[in-house]
Structure 1
């Protein structure tokens, strides 16, 4: 019998002006949204902002709206990981970026896309869904 692990994460649909910020994951060879685990005593919008800042380098961000949440699970050895991802619309309020803000195990390049191209470029259907919801909210 496998051990069950429950994880809570936040993800961010990041918008800068009229462009959507995606991360190209060089390890997995596809585009993703910034995402990461919630820390103890951290509130979910702050997790989204921390991860978006850390993975994109943009320092000044604001969470605009919670877009929703989704769940999935996968097996990892003798464990089954159950993840709940809370997704937020996040806006860049200052273009200033920091260099080398990613963790050692992350190998991302920040790329900006139009709404239409962002929907095409992301790998996961959940990411597409939330980019579409963000576009609807922003009236793009």
Structure 2
């Protein structure tokens, strides 16, 4: 069977792998959050060497991680699941090319694996000036320095996706500018066409439901965030419902356990979202209800954290909190709370 016939057979009979690529700060997380809310798929987040405290041979670590994650995506495909990946080995290629101006010797060997799957690549970009202006918020210091010191890094990075990748990758590629809303709508149409098929084929995996509660906690004119010292990012307090526990009770308990603050008033629910991920040979569908909570005083007790949890409490004003939150779902919850509070005022 020829390579074209194999590719056609794969597209017809197998679920898809959707790879979301993009320059830092161009909206990958926002698009992925929209996908996870709208389509039944398994999500594989991008690797982060900072979270894993990798300090040596970082480029090679990313290459190995991307290879491992792609093999995992193929496994989920064989089990009948659509997969959404945040970045892939293509990101490592783009970074290498933007840094050196040449392609690495392993380019063809790594990209050949994409032809064995039903893969769609989406590359997101935005206005250059706005992108570079926001680069100071990039977590990785090495990337920040490259962008600030090398005026051609950004252009070579985009040039790789726009001019080089289409000539060496035998799979579908969408390059879209999210500076205006039309680019986002174009990306959503491609996502819909990619993930709406093969529904009858999924799912061969068991699916378990997990109910959780998240809280946007306000104190006067600031919001309470958790800084995870292990993973180096900010999030909202969140936790699982216990047996015979109401969602309101869960919100109050989780805030007390994770922050120590107990003098709270749950004001109202402000949203709910779900997403799916793979764990222990089954798909876990996690549904999170978000509450707006008022912290009446700063009375507190000792935190009750798990052995793996290391959180610091941080009070931030709205715009600082919005910029620092890692997860798009947390950002959306904070924005809803902010609009509700201003409308009420």
TM-score bucket of the superposed structures, by smaller chain:
over 0.9
Contact 2:252/2:262, CA 8 A, preserved across alignment: no
Structure with bigger gyration radius: 2
Alignment of 1:19 onto 2:222: yes
Deviation at 1:80, TM superposition (A): 0.9
Partner of 2:258: 55
Partner of 2:321: 118
Deviation at 1:99, TM superposition (A): 2.6
Following the alignment from structure 2 to structure 1, what is the Cα–Cα distance between the partners of residues 235 and 227? 6
Partner of 1:40: 243
Q: Deviations over 1:16-43 (max 9, x none)?
A: 1111000011222110100000011111
Following the alignment from structure 1 to structure 2, what is the Cα–Cα distance between the partners of residues 61 and 100? 15
Give the TM-score normalised by structure 1.
Answer: 0.94
For residues 85-104 of structure 1, the aligned pairs below 5 Å read 85-104=288-307
Following the alignment from structure 2 to structure 1, what is the Cα–Cα distance between the partners of residues 254 and 303? 14
Following the alignment from structure 2 to structure 1, what is the Cα–Cα distance between the partners of residues 216 and 325? 11
Following the alignment from structure 1 to structure 2, what is the Cα–Cα distance between the partners of residues 44 and 77? 26
Following the alignment from structure 1 to structure 2, what is the Cα–Cα distance between the partners of residues 103 and 45? 21
Contact 2:256/2:303, CA 8 A, preserved across alignment: no
Deviation at 1:101, TM superposition (A): 2.8
Deviation at 1:5, TM superposition (A): 1.5
Partner of 2:6: none
Q: Deviations over 1:50-100 (max 9, x none)?
A: 111111110111100100100001012412110000000011112112233
Pick aligned residue for 1:106 from 309, 321, 327: 309
Which has a greater percent of strand?
A: 1
Alignment of 1:81 onto 2:291: no
Give structure 1 stretches of 5+ with no counterpart: none
Partner of 1:69: 272
Deviation at 1:49, TM superposition (A): 1.1
Deviation at 1:103, TM superposition (A): 2.7
The alignment of Structure 1 onto Structure 2 pairs a total of residues equal to 140
Deviation at 1:113, TM superposition (A): 0.4
The 3 A distance-change label for structure 1 pair 45 and 100 is: closer
Q: Which moved more, 1:6-15 or 1:102-111?
A: 102-111
Deviation at 1:109, TM superposition (A): 0.6
Following the alignment from structure 1 to structure 2, what is the Cα–Cα distance between the partners of residues 97 and 54? 10
Which has a greater percent of helix?
A: 2
Contact 2:259/2:303, CA 8 A, preserved across alignment: no
Query: What is the Cα-based RMSD across aligned positions, in Å?
Result: 1.3
